[in-house]
Structure 1
Amino acid sequence: MTPVPLIADELRALALAGLAHVRDAYDLERYRRVLHLSAELAAGDGPASTPEIKRAYLHNLAHVSPLLGVEAVVTGPRGVLLMRRADSALWAVPGGLAEVGETLAGAAERELFEEVGLRGQATRLLGLLDSRLSGSRHGLHIVTALFQVEAAGEARPTLEAREVGWHAWNALPELHPGHAATLRVARAALDSGLPHFDPEPPRPLHPQAHRAGGASPRQTLGVRLVRLLVRAGGWALLRGERPAAPQPRP
């Protein structure tokens, strides 16, 4: 069964895609309602309230995509380098989310340094992992790029790592959810020389539909107007609010 946070994310993505290509006021209302329902699902029993999440959604009307993660696999004569996470006390591969303005390889190098104090260089892409298929339990859709990183020096504990250590491939400790898949993919890629990716199961695909001769001028103008409001952050319109009347000049 799909976790509720992933359902909320997918509904949000569908709503925003619909709002970017809305054709009439009825579709506008439908997609706006889907966006609000996704916010209610995302709120759930979490610390943020539904109104707070709705405001965050309506102030960020960009196309929603999976998050990008990175993980750094460092190997040596003693096996693979792992860190005991500060949050779960379980062992994991160093990694995290990529930041705006850096390559995925650079993000893996940064995460390795931040989490275990090692400076290294990404030398090889081992695979791309989809969090929905890896056994992770955080409820987010993250696509993680797994890199082999050549590093020198001694790893050390940090705020995010209670301890660090080398572990033999055939004697791994208890792992944080999702990291058994990470290490399985990493070892296979190191042995085979081939990067891994998760294939998409069969699903229906629909091509973009185009009217013969193009859309009518009236429809085109309406579509352009709504798209402009969405892309300009027209969240007041999406909330169903009327714009404030202009004030007379003094």
Structure 2
Amino acid sequence: MDLRWLEWAKQIQAISQNGLAYSKDIYDLERFEQLRELSIEILNEYSDVEPALIRELFASETGYATPKVDIRGVIVKEDQVLLVREKADGGWALPGGWADIGLSPKEIVVKEVEEEAGLKVAPVRLLGVLDKKFHHHPPSPYHVYKIFILCEAVSGEAAPGIETSEVGYFAEDQLPELSLERNTPEQIRCLLQMVRNQETESLLD
């Protein structure tokens, strides 16, 4: 499936957002606003999403346009990886979520794992920083960096949270149906291999 239109729409949106943030000329501001409207029209034409929702989720941010950051915790026990079942789509994922302003990546992964899986963890090692566009995720209106952090469980019992319905440990060859928006089978298998071999360098796209 050719998704060049999606990349074009995201680039146009980023250019318009940056222009609206820094331009002072009233005519330039009008042109950048027209570009933003064009990006909304492109997404509306090629997707089933209502224009109002596109504007709210895709074209309402201000300031310099930067990628979103998704942080995931990797907890392994007896060569099995901890996954949580997301209520949003029913798929399984490494516990995690969007980065929060004011918190470091370590603080975010600790918070997210406890909220989604019931465990208190200690971050151990950065496993990778991946660009979502290079991996087999569903199309997204956002440019996303995904950070994977190896964590060690220090206390608590595995239990679902507000956004999750189940928690479990899974072997590499017995992965459940994954939430591909959040992680892919290839990513999880690669991360497990890195955990087995501590000398492996961190992944970096």
TM-score, normalisation: structure 1: 0.67
> Closer, same or farther in 2 for the Cα pair 1:78/1:141, shift >3 Å?
same
| Native 8 Å contact 2:81 2:192 kept in 1 | no
Q: For residue 154 of structure 1, what is the aligned residue in structure 2? A: 157
- Assess, with a 3 A threshold, how the Cα gap between structure 1 residues 98 and 22 changes in structure 2: closer, same or farther: closer
Q: Which amino acid letter does the alignment assign opposite residue 157 of structure 2? A: E
Aligned twin of 2:124: 123
Does structure 1 residue 72 correspond to structure 2 residue 99? no
Q: Aligned partners of 2:171, 2:59: CA distance in 1, in Å?
A: 45
Residue deviations 1:51-107 (CA, integer Å, cap 9, x gap): x828x946x430111101100000111511111222222221111101111011111
Task: For residues 27-57 of structure 1, give each alpha carbon's deviation from its aligned partner in whole angstroms, at most 9, with x where no partner exists.
Answer: 544333212212334555325527x828x94
1:164 equivalent in structure 2: 167
Aligned pair in 2 of structure 1 residues 23, 74: CA closer, same or farther (>3 Å)?
same
The whole-number CA distance in structure 2 between the counterparts of 1:24 and 1:48 is 27
Q: Is the 8 A contact 2:17 2:65 kept in 1?
A: yes
Question: How far apart in 2 are the matches of 1:90 and 1:20?
Answer: 37
Which residue of structure 2 aligns with residue 85 of structure 1?
A: 86
Are positions 1:133 and 2:134 aligned together?
yes
In structure 2, the gaps of 5 or more residues are none
Q: Tell me the percent identity.
A: 29
Structure 1 or 2, whichever has the larger Rg, is 1
Could you tell me how far 1:168 is from its partner in structure 2?
1.4
Provide the C-alpha distance between the structure 1 equivalents of 2:166 and 2:21, rounded to a whole number of angstroms.
Answer: 47
- What's the TM-score, normalizing by structure 2? 0.80
Question: Is the partner of 1:175 in helix, strand or coil?
Answer: coil
Q: Matched residue of 1:75: which SS? A: strand
Q: 1:138 to 1:154 in 2, by over 3 A?
A: farther
Change beyond 3 A, Cα 1:170–1:6: same
1:193 aligns to 2:200 (yes or no) = yes
Q: What is the CA–CA distance in structure 2 between the aligned matches of 1:40 and 1:142, rounded to whole Å? A: 22
Could you tell me how far 1:187 is from its partner in structure 2?
2.2
Gaps of 5+ in 1: 199-250
Question: Corresponding residue for 1:220?
Answer: none
Residue 185 of structure 2 corresponds to residue 184 of structure 1: no
